[in-house]
Structure 1
Amino acid sequence: MSKLEQLINELCPEGVEYIRLKECTEMKRGTSATKKTLSEGQIPVISGGKEPAFYCDTANRYGETITIAGSGAGAGYVQYWNEPIFVNDAFSIKGSKNLNTRYIYHYLLNIQEKIYDTKKGGGVPHVHISSIENFLVPTPPLPVQEEIVRILDKFTELTAELTAELTAELTARKQQYEYYRDDWLSKNTNKKSLKQIALSSRSGGTPLKSNKDYYENGTIPWLRTQEVVFNKINKTDCFITELAVQETSAKWIPANCVIVAISGASAGRCAINKIPLTTNQHCLAIEINPEVALYKYVFYCVCNQYDDLIAKKEGARGDLNSSRILGLEIPIPYPEDKEKSLAEQQRIVDILDRFDKLCNDISEGLPAEIEARQKQYEYYRDKLLTFKKKEAAENE
């Protein structure tokens, strides 16, 4: 029998009381402030995000403190601090003499999604004290709380260490992948431009947003540049109608094109569409001549020359144009022997595919291991923070 089981059997064999959060903790709203009203310093200012909004020289909370972000995209995010902080657009929670603050922190992490679900507001989402203050907290005796904290803190530490090790391994594998990709793709001095190896190239269009007939009940995949992230496109977030294809420049392109983003922050990123689809005007779709090059090989080559593409960007938004992209030169092995050339391209693709799968597929390899460890921690955290209720609590 574990130490925790012994403590529970000795100190709360009949279960524990569940008490409202506001009745067993100290909850305080933050103090409204801005960079103009606070002097710059080293103390974190906790507002609406996961990271400190800025740093000041004044603290309004000391010692063990839990904060819950009050507004913005991170509204509801739970953090633990054991240093001076300034709570701004957030609120703080501290334990009482009968409730360990670190125990409360683990409990709130365990119901993080429930806290997120309390968000209100049509514009900027907010989480308010009133939305969570009546959450019921299991309150076992302090020795039980302390043992749970010890176990979960150790689990957190081990999970963080393992995640760091796996992340370092993943980073090393990616660097190895990029090294070999560059090495294999730079050995061939015979080069052809994308224009020379393309059967066709075209950009798309954005159907008029105000025309609902172009979008309502649309079934035709329509790709936007934010979905082009050195990946394979098997589906799109948006769809348009057949009428949009007939009346606008958003035309069908065949599967297995190399697609390069040509505008804004995403310019230079590339992808392969594994399904026929349409695109917006900020995507350039290049249909590769299979007699000269494999589309997957060309995709890897374009990925490998991302920095070269970035260097070609121009204008205030950092755009590319089709001529600059189509002028990009691709190494073609054994250009005098088509069969040998395509075989060598396939060999390189097969090797790079294995690296890519290891590095990026969340269902296999290292990323899956990281996710599995996190889920294991969450499973045990939930088990440790679930108690039988005392009968008195059930009858309240």
Structure 2
Amino acid sequence: MRQLNYLEKLLEGVGTEWQALSDLVTLRRGRVMSKGFLSENTGIFPVYSSQTANDGMIGSIDTYDFDGEYISWTTDGANAGTIFYRKGKFSITNVCGLMKIIDENLLNYKYLYYWLTTEAQKHVYSGMGNPKLMSHQVEKIVVPIPCSDNPKKSLAIQAEIVRILDAFTAMTAELTAELTAELNMRKKQYNYYRDQLLSFEEGDVEWKTLGDLAENLDSKRKPITSGLREAGEIPYYGASGIVDYVKDYIFDGDYLLVSEDGANLLARNTPIAFSISGKTWVNNHAHVLKFETYAERKYVEYYLNSIDLTPYISGAAQPKLNKKNLESINIPNPAPKEKERIVAILDKFDSLTCSIKEGLPREIELRQKQYEYYRDLLLSFPKSHSHEAA
């Protein structure tokens, strides 16, 4: 005999009515607020926009448009369909929508918030390359109302679901914070050991230019205009990594790519030197270097990602690390065995801190997936025949 899941036990056999959001909430949009307006009217009341960082807050002003409990969502752009629970005094911009529950004796705000976090993304329209979730799409979303003929019991069921999901959310956030703190500590530890291992005093080791240590294969790389690329499974690399996948390849083997141009040369948001393997295509935005051994290639990769390359970069408006300057970079060149030792240590740190398949980043991802699994299980209401037909 099949065991009842927690939601079934919670419902105790009562029915679930599915209602369109247009019958449950009123919808409206925010207003245009420029950066100048935000800076000229600084205050204590938050302004929320389409971003997801910082809970969507882009600033704070001295007035507010809304006061109370609401659900907001992002209407336009890459984050379209992102749902937020709002409470208090605040304002939203024109790329946000806002929901106000019509009858709070029928529907719980946090319950609606959790339901929409699983449902809203399914209704995002991505036509013309600009994802959107506008009011006319939102109002069609259906919401399960348990025991709708008994509002008091319905709210009690919704409140219990909210209680469980709030607890899951808090626990997941706490665990993620702990893991993130651990990851940050490991990264600092990694940077410390990397800098220690790659610091050499003048005279301790021989120094050579990068041009002496590696074979430059820039002449073989070739850009392909995006509209002319034939889709395939071969990685197509640019200055900061994979740009596309194509059908053919230029290189086959292990190489070190170094960003030739782009703002990332100065910002260093991602490594400017990275290894590639197998069949690949490389455009003209990354240098291609070949080394005799794995240890030599990885040693140079770690070294280039640890030093300040500003003296070798030209062009303030369009930063560029040209071939001549790249090959003139001085690299400490210890004995092969010492390079192997350094690389072996740094590879272990790198695997723990950077790989999404291993170590702490993977653990953080698993925690989030675990939360989403239990959230979806708790919100898996039985669908009525009329709902399925709709």
Hey, what does 1:132 align to over in structure 2?
138
Hey, what does 2:246 align to over in structure 1?
239
Hey, what does 1:382 align to over in structure 2?
376
Identity rate, percent: 37
1:24-74 deviation line (CA, Å, top 9, x unaligned): 223333344545667343333334333334433332221221101121222
Following superposition, the deviation at residue 105 of structure 1 comes to: 0.4
Q: Which structure 2 residue ranges, 5 or more long, are not aligned? A: 147-153
Q: Which amino acid aligns with 1:190?
A: E
CA distance in 1, matches of 2:125, 2:10: 37
CA distance in 2, matches of 1:137, 1:163: 30
Alignment of 1:114 onto 2:122: yes
CA distance in 1, matches of 2:182, 2:257: 30
Alignment of 1:88 onto 2:93: yes
Q: Which amino acid aligns with 1:224?
A: G
1:345-383 deviation line (CA, Å, top 9, x unaligned): 212211211111111221221111111111111111112
1:94-118 deviation line (CA, Å, top 9, x unaligned): 3322111011001111224314xx3
Following superposition, the deviation at residue 298 of structure 1 comes to: 1.9
Alignment of 1:195 onto 2:200: no
SS at match of 1:196: helix
Hey, what does 1:99 align to over in structure 2?
107
The partner residue of 2:299 within 297, 300, 307 is 297
CA distance in 1, matches of 2:129, 2:21: 28
Q: Which amino acid aligns with 1:331?
A: P
Question: Given that residues 203 and 282 in structure 1 are in contact (C-alpha distance below 8 angstroms), is that contact kept between their aligned partners in structure 2?
Answer: no
Following superposition, the deviation at residue 142 of structure 1 comes to: 0.6
CA distance in 2, matches of 1:211, 1:144: 53
Q: Which amino acid aligns with 1:367?
A: P
CA distance in 2, matches of 1:31, 1:155: 34
Q: How does 1:262-273 map to 2 (within 5 A)?
A: 262-267=260-265, 269-273=272-276
Following superposition, the deviation at residue 218 of structure 1 comes to: 7.1
Alignment of 1:225 onto 2:230: no
SS at match of 2:18: strand
Hey, what does 1:247 align to over in structure 2?
none
Q: Which amino acid aligns with 1:286?
A: L
Of 359-368 and 274-283, the range deviating more from structure 2: 274-283
CA distance in 2, matches of 1:34, 1:303: 38
The partner residue of 1:72 within 57, 74, 77 is 77
SS at match of 1:138: strand
Following superposition, the deviation at residue 144 of structure 1 comes to: 1.0
Question: Given that residues 309 and 325 in structure 1 are in contact (C-alpha distance below 8 angstroms), is that contact kept between their aligned partners in structure 2?
Answer: no
CA distance in 1, matches of 2:374, 2:116: 15
Hey, what does 2:367 align to over in structure 1?
373
Hey, what does 2:341 align to over in structure 1?
347
Q: Which amino acid aligns with 1:85?
A: F
- TM normalised by structure 1 equals 0.81
The partner residue of 1:209 within 213, 222, 225 is 225
SS at match of 2:68: coil
Following superposition, the deviation at residue 5 of structure 1 comes to: 6.9
Question: Given that residues 6 and 378 in structure 2 are in contact (C-alpha distance below 8 angstroms), is that contact kept between their aligned partners in structure 1?
Answer: no
CA distance in 2, matches of 1:280, 1:391: 55
Following superposition, the deviation at residue 238 of structure 1 comes to: 3.8
Alignment of 1:22 onto 2:22: yes
Q: Which structure 1 residue ranges, 5 or more long, are not aligned? A: 228-234, 243-251, 334-340
Of 169-178 and 38-47, the range deviating more from structure 2: 38-47
Q: Which amino acid aligns with 1:301?
A: Y
Following superposition, the deviation at residue 221 of structure 1 comes to: 4.9
Alignment of 1:165 onto 2:178: yes
Question: Given that residues 252 and 279 in structure 2 are in contact (C-alpha distance below 8 angstroms), is that contact kept between their aligned partners in structure 1?
Answer: yes
Question: Given that residues 42 and 55 in structure 1 are in contact (C-alpha distance below 8 angstroms), is that contact kept between their aligned partners in structure 2?
Answer: yes
CA-based RMSD? 3.1
Distance 1:342 1:205, change over 3 A: closer
Question: Given that residues 46 and 69 in structure 1 are in contact (C-alpha distance below 8 angstroms), is that contact kept between their aligned partners in structure 2?
Answer: no
- TM normalised by structure 2 equals 0.82
CA distance in 1, matches of 2:88, 2:310: 42
CA distance in 2, matches of 1:208, 1:200: 20
CA distance in 1, matches of 2:330, 2:50: 47
Hey, what does 1:246 align to over in structure 2?
none
Hey, what does 1:58 align to over in structure 2?
63
CA distance in 2, matches of 1:7, 1:223: 52
Distance 1:42 1:193, change over 3 A: same
Following superposition, the deviation at residue 311 of structure 1 comes to: 4.0
1:213-247 deviation line (CA, Å, top 9, x unaligned): xx3467865421131xxxxxxx76243768xxxxx
SS at match of 2:212: coil
SS at match of 1:374: helix
CA distance in 1, matches of 2:248, 2:386: 60
Alignment of 1:49 onto 2:51: yes
SS at match of 2:77: coil
Distance 1:53 1:206, change over 3 A: farther
CA distance in 2, matches of 1:58, 1:114: 34
Question: Given that residues 4 and 147 in structure 1 are in contact (C-alpha distance below 8 angstroms), is that contact kept between their aligned partners in structure 2?
Answer: no
Distance 1:73 1:394, change over 3 A: closer
CA distance in 1, matches of 2:33, 2:290: 55
CA distance in 1, matches of 2:226, 2:386: 60
